[in-house]
Amino acid sequence: MIRRKGIFLVICSGLIVPLLTYVSPGWLAISGIAPSWGILWLMPWALEAGPWAGVIAGLCLALALDSLTIGLPSHLPSLVLLGFIWGRLGSRITPIQGSLNFGFIALLGTFLSGLIFWLQVSLYQKDAINSLVNAWSIHTILAETIMTALIAPIISTWLLAFFKTCRN
């Protein structure tokens, strides 16, 4: 009974991510760019559950986030890749501990996700590559990376503890 309740709570917490993506508080944004809520949820889950559960969670989360937008680019490649990488990192003998480690891991993951997102846009719109780099990409990637890395120590520590209690 507890196992089913734990899985239900994890799924419900994952379904909150698309809502937070659109209803993010304004004080958590830099120039209107909010943190990456998908990365903030996926990182502790993949660290706790392992690489394949991270891939499946990244896939489901990406499909939920992509269903709210029209067209390219997609969150799918970056979230699936990060779910696998973070799952492998979490399955090491020495567990990841410490709030600042979560911030650093989130910083790297958000930056990689932003680069993959930008690469998809640049491949989709080949003629606009120069204007894309100068217009929005650097500012968006850096703002999202900074906000996610600043919030990650708080949220990821809490979510990791929550996921550990749900799995037991």
Pick the CATH number of 2-167 from 1.10.1760, 1.10.730, 1.10.20, 1.10.10: 1.10.1760
Report percent pLDDT > 90 for the chain: 32
Give the C-alpha distances (Å, rounded to integers) separating 43 from 32, 67, 88, 129, 135.
23, 21, 11, 31, 29
Question: Rounded to two decimals, what is the model's pTM?
Answer: 0.87
Q: Is the pLDDT of residue 168 over 80?
A: no
Q: Tens of pLDDT along 40-86?
A: 999 999 988 889 989 999 999 999 888 888 877 898 999 999 999 99
Q: What residue spans define the domains of the chain?
A: 2-167
In this prediction, residue 126 has a pLDDT band, given cuts at 50, 70 and 90, of low
What is the average pLDDT score of the chain?
84
